[in-house]
Structure 1
Amino acid sequence: MKQHTTNYINTFIQIAEDCPVSQSQIPPEKKEKTLANLQYEQISKNPYQYSSDDIIFECYVFKNDIPESEKQNERNIFFSKGQACLRSSPLAKRYGFGIHHNKEGKVAIYPVESKEYQNLLNDSSITKTKAMRSKRK
């Protein structure tokens, strides 16, 4: 079974062109955790600990209440089909966070207003791409 990946190496995902905020916002808590809440918690508490594949799959596990004993098999099935990468993350599309993938493919987030965000933007050794727009042009 072919395995797809959402991982990037040495890449910075900038906020979307149509991101509605100029200062980052922590995704608001709701009765049930949203994808934005799950991604924010996992990445902000564990910078450069997880790959994009790890984050996307763990969110899927949480939302679908998959037991620990079935995770490996479910992961194989999950990545046998292409999945949306973090360019589609609400953190970069709506909440004003850039997403950096280091040389090992591990992920951290940076607020758009931060010095670190600007440093990554100006670093010529890093590939840059923008988050997906929410609306078509």
Structure 2
Amino acid sequence: MSYIDTFIRVAEDCPVERGGTPVSERPLLPAHVIQYNLLAGAPYHYNHEELLYQVHVRHKGIPEEDRETRREEIWTELFSKSHPCLRASMLPKKYGWGIHYDTEGKIALYAKESPQYDHFTSGGEAGVKLLNAMRNKRR
């Protein structure tokens, strides 16, 4: 699912008060670490589908040359099934990152303690829909 003009707030039961950098010791990085690396390094560069694709090829360790030559095949296979939106990502659920989709659906991260996060969550940006990230635990 892709959003436009939407801000995903940190989950109500997020265990941190500040946006933290997710890390992993595993050779193949988990999806949330790849999401963070891509979005932190290039705010408003990726839309949801492109982010999913980039996370997928990195997570699966698909070589760069295959990413180019087999892009359409990989893309078609990837999107032949549904995928969760970023409301379910560990970034807003565990690591304290709000997620903004601009008018073109391009994505940027904002730390929970940042003035930009406050700006979006206080309704400071007209026309931006506010959603909560999914909770970590059921009520």
TM-score (norm: length of structure 2): 0.89
Q: Partner residue of 1:12? A: 7
CA distance in 2 between partners of 1:95 and 1:29 (Å) = 13
CA distance in 1 between partners of 2:127 and 2:26 (Å) = 42
SS at match of 1:99: strand
CA distance in 2 between partners of 1:124 and 1:130 (Å) = 18
Opposite residue 17 of structure 1, the aligned amino acid is E
CA distance in 2 between partners of 1:57 and 1:90 (Å) = 18
**Once the two structures are superposed, what CA deviation does each residue of 1:1-24 show, in whole Å capped at 9, x if it has no partner?**
xxxxx2100000101111110111
**Once the two structures are superposed, what CA deviation does each residue of 1:25-56 show, in whole Å capped at 9, x if it has no partner?**
11124233222221111001100010011112
Alignment of 1:44 with 2:46, yes or no, is no
76-85 or 102-111: which moved more? 76-85
Counterparts of 1:104-115 in structure 2, within 5 Å, are 104-115=104-115
SS at match of 2:70: helix
**Identical amino acids, percent of aligned pairs:** 35
SS at match of 2:13: coil
TM-score (norm: length of structure 1): 0.90
Shift of 1:80: 2.1
SS at match of 1:37: helix
Counterparts of 1:73-88 in structure 2, within 5 Å, are 73-88=73-88
Aligned-CA RMSD value: 1.2
Q: Is contact 1:61–1:71 with CA below 8 Å preserved after alignment?
A: no
CA distance in 1 between partners of 2:53 and 2:119 (Å) = 29
CA distance in 2 between partners of 1:45 and 1:116 (Å) = 17
Opposite residue 35 of structure 1, the aligned amino acid is A
Which consecutive segments of 4 or more residues in structure 1 shift more than 4 A? none
44-53 or 33-42: which moved more? 33-42
SS at match of 1:28: coil
